[in-house]
Amino acid sequence: MEKKDMTLIGVALLICVIICVLSPYIASGDPDGLEKSAEDSGVAEDFSVEEINGIPDAIFPDYAFANDPDNQVLQIVALVIGAIVTLALGYAVAEVVRSRN
């Protein structure tokens, strides 16, 4: 891998971490999209989805750890982990595609 590629990956990772750290403080508290549609249609906020056999729950529901959902530090950790995993998967897919060409 070239130095230019490593620099680009480093910058992307740094930007992702900065966004993750700032997001709990700058994100809007107003619901939007699917949450807003559910609210408008009268669906209760605390409704539960019937568990489907063999399908696990979300690893980080609502971008938090299940044992302490209101802890902002843990929310940031969940966001950073999610960003790194997403970048790693994207990189892995790019490598597979590049190796086939």
The total of structural domains in the chain comes to 1
**pLDDT tens digits, one per residue of 32-90:** 677 777 778 877 666 565 666 666 666 776 667 777 777 888 888 888 888 888 888 98
More confident residue, 17 or 34: 17
Q: Is residue 70 part of a domain?
A: yes
20 occurs within a structural domain: yes
Residue 45 falls inside a structural domain: no
- State the residue for tokens 């995993």: 85
Query: What pTM was estimated for this model as a whole?
Result: 0.62
pLDDT at position 44? 63
| 52 in any annotated domain | no
Inside any domain, residue 98: yes
Instruction: Indicate whether 84 belongs to any domain.
Output: yes
What is the rounded distance in angstroms from the CA atom of residue 76 to the CA atom of residue 81? 9
Q: Is residue 40 domain-resident?
A: no
Is 35 inside a domain boundary? no
Per-residue pLDDT at 97: 94
